[in-house]
Structure 1
Amino acid sequence: MLTTLFTLLATKLGWSPQDDPERGDVPGWVLVTLMTAGLVVAIWAIAGPLLQQVFETAIQRVLDT
């Protein structure tokens, strides 16, 4: 519904997607987004337990003082 609203608004303003030569490559952006999400998940899986240990150690040191 939101896409339809934007399309109607763009049409009323006289803009069409063909008018923009720098529109971009949608499948390329989807691939970049998925690869970035995959890297975040992989890094989080590796670093997550280490970061948790660092956090717990820091909290324990603060509470012991």
Structure 2
Amino acid sequence: MSRLRARFSRNSMARDLTDDRGDVPGWVLITLMTAGLVIVIWALAGPALEGVFQQAIDRVSGF
């Protein structure tokens, strides 16, 4: 009985190690969290970046 259990355990571990499906819910969560961070950072830094860009354009256009 213990040999059968050990063999089943090894096969189960080998199957888990060779499974290529990955952790889909985990990747979905990471993707959503990354998108949320990008939106928050863009909302906070957008006006400042727009000001820097406008200053650069004004300096180049001033010549």
> What's the TM-score once normalised by structure 2's chain length?
0.69
Aligned to 1:40: 38
Alpha-carbon distance between aligned partners in 2 of 1:63 and 1:38, rounded to the nearest angstrom = 36
% identity of equivalent residues:
65
Q: Does 1:30 align with 2:14?
A: no
Alignment partners' CA distance in 1, 2:57 and 2:39: 25
Higher share in helix:
2
- How many residue pairs are counted as aligned between the two chains? 46
Using CA pairs below 8 Å that are at least 6 residues apart, which structure has the higher relative contact order? 1
Structure exhibiting the larger radius of gyration computed from Cα positions: 2
Instruction: In structure 2, give the amino acid aligned to 1:50.
Output: A
- The one-letter amino acid of 1:51's match is L
CA distance in 2, matches of 1:63, 1:36: 37
The alignment's TM-score, normalised by the length of structure 1, stands at 0.67
Unpaired segments ≥5 residues, structure 1: 1-19
Instruction: Structure 2 unaligned segments of length 5 or more: list them.
Output: 1-17
Number of the residue aligned with 2:55: 57
